[in-house]
Amino acid sequence: MAAKQIQFKIVTPEKILYDAMVEGVSFPTVEGEITVLPHHIPILSAVKPGELKIKINGKEEFFHVTSGVLEVDGESITLLTDAAERANEVNEKRAQEAVERAQAIMSEKRHDEEGYIEAVAEMERALSRIRIAKKHRHGGSRASLNDE
């Protein structure tokens, strides 16, 4: 074991998407990006839709995540999220369609508070998917979180 590592898991309602020893993970949280390295203090935080960066064996892997909960308990990192996918697997066309759908619902359900909120959340998710898909379409792993 060359570098210090910490167990990292991405868990969605459908499956455990990712489970490996990593060197560090950067999360998009409601307060901005945070990076968790091994021996991080225990923390609970709310994750918002955006890009997740995993450092593993000196390489970087990118995921798109939607809102969820991040838990670091000193020994492992667990991310509970509604949906997640690898950045290069994001379906840009579908996301674009989702944006349009959400827009339609938003104009339709202006008076339905819940429907509206749901549509806004859907829109936010889709937009963040598009952003990430665009970023990783060219250049792939060269892109990092810093050059936004």
The answer to whether 140 touches 61, Cβ cutoff 8 Å, is no
Whole-number minimum distance, CB 1 to another protein, in Å? 23
Integer Cα distance of 128 and 121 in angstroms: 11
Which residue, 12 or 143, has its beta carbon nearer to another protein? 12
Residues at the interface with another protein (CB under 8 A): 11-16, 29-31, 34, 41-46, 69, 71, 73-74, 78, 80
Residue 64, CB-side half-sphere exposure with 13 Å CA sphere: 23
Which residue, 17 or 145, has its beta carbon nearer to another protein? 17
Which residue, 67 or 128, has its beta carbon nearer to another protein? 67
Strand locations in the chain (E): 6-11, 16-22, 24-29, 32-36, 43-47, 50-56, 59-65, 68-72, 76-81, 84-86
Whole-number minimum distance, CB 12 to another protein, in Å? 7
Whole-number minimum distance, CB 126 to another protein, in Å? 17
